[in-house]
Amino acid sequence: MSSEFKAGNLSVNIFGESHGTAIGVVIDGLPAGEKLDFDEISRFMARRAPKKDGTSTRRSEPDIPEILSGVMDGVIEGIPLCAVIKNTDQHSNDYKSVSHLARPGHSDYTGYVRYNGSNDLRGGGHFSGRLTAPLCFAGAVAAQLLKNRGIETGAHILKIKDICDEPFDPVNVTAQQLETVKSRYLPLIDETKDQPMRELILNASENLDSVGGVIEYCAIGMPVGIGNPMFDGLENRIAQSVFGVPAVKGIEFGAGFDVSDMYGSENNDEFYIRDGKILTRTNNHGGILGGISGGMPITVRAAIKPTPSISRPQKTVDYTTMTEEELTIKGRHDPCIVPRAVPCIEAAVNIALLSYFC
């Protein structure tokens, strides 16, 4: 089973299953001749790794990508780039007791119907967040190619449940700010929110529960005039890619849903000229007008649902016997996936932006 994002000449095909031998990605359409920094790719992927403070799953995978094709001496060849990541720390027995029970919040039942009962339920199979490891590899590659074109990208935790970080300044974001949040244990602008967020996550875990949140992404340096109207605009491609990240339940650009509470005079971003460039004084449009980049920072927010695998007893059904049952989920699960999802959202948007340059 595989999943593909395809736009322009770029395609990103992610394959494998959470408890299979390996997972991986095939990236086609990359521009030949550009050099990749694999140390930087490793640093990007390491941001997705579980935390060691009890706020993440205890599953530990090295996530070292093995390049099968597409790169020679660190340079993109122009043929499909294929990378695989071995799975080495599966506990498949944790799923035997729930093999026919629809776990609330999971794709077990819908996958069972869609694939005639052949879907792999172990660890969520192809629906698992484990598949974001190769996504992050592709997004890390995209980040370097975007940077070669003067585009800097980054993301941070905007909120976990009701504890909020400072948002990016929608008008003035610097490359240094985007890099700084990446280096922090929890990617936050306001570091005073680190401990309260950790305590909230640990408290949810102790109560056999989980919490969700919001991730905010920003890209600066995007040239004016990139994108298309209607069905192939920047928002369209970004949304398609971002919803490839499991647990994403909402997306907004710029002021997002807050525009519904505004007057037109409040929402409209007035234009002005500075140093020979046309800019806007505010950025409610999130850097995109008519599906096309306008020169302001591109701002995207993604809502992440609470981890559905919780250890509380829950009511469900056995979809093979058509009986109502109760289940208690076992295994190793994140009480909050938001911190680890930050590089995943970053990767997804990076891929969408890169598609316009391939």
Q: Give pLDDT tens digits for 291-343.
A: 999 999 999 999 999 999 898 999 999 988 999 999 888 776 889 999 999 99
Would you state the pLDDT for residue 60? 59
User: pLDDT averaged over the chain?
Assistant: 92
What are the contacts of 52-58 at 24+ separation with CB within 8 A?
A: 53/198, 54/202, 54/205, 55/198, 55/201, 55/202, 55/205, 55/334, 55/335, 55/336, 55/339, 56/334, 56/339, 56/340, 57/332, 57/333, 57/334, 58/332
30 pLDDT above the threshold of 60: yes
Least confident of 88-92, 100-104, 165-169: 88-92
Residue 351 has pLDDT above 60, yes or no: yes
- Would you state the pLDDT for residue 157? 98
Mean pLDDT confidence for 333-355: 96
Identify the pLDDT of residue 95. 56
Given a cut of 90, whether residue 181 has pLDDT beyond it is yes
Beta-carbon-side half-sphere exposure of residue 153 (alpha carbons within 13 Å): 30
Maximum CA extent, the chain: 70
Of the candidates 21, 50, 35, which has an alpha carbon nearest to the alpha carbon of residue 132?
50
Task: Give the C-alpha separation, 309 to 96, whole Å.
Answer: 15
Strand partners, 160: 163, 213
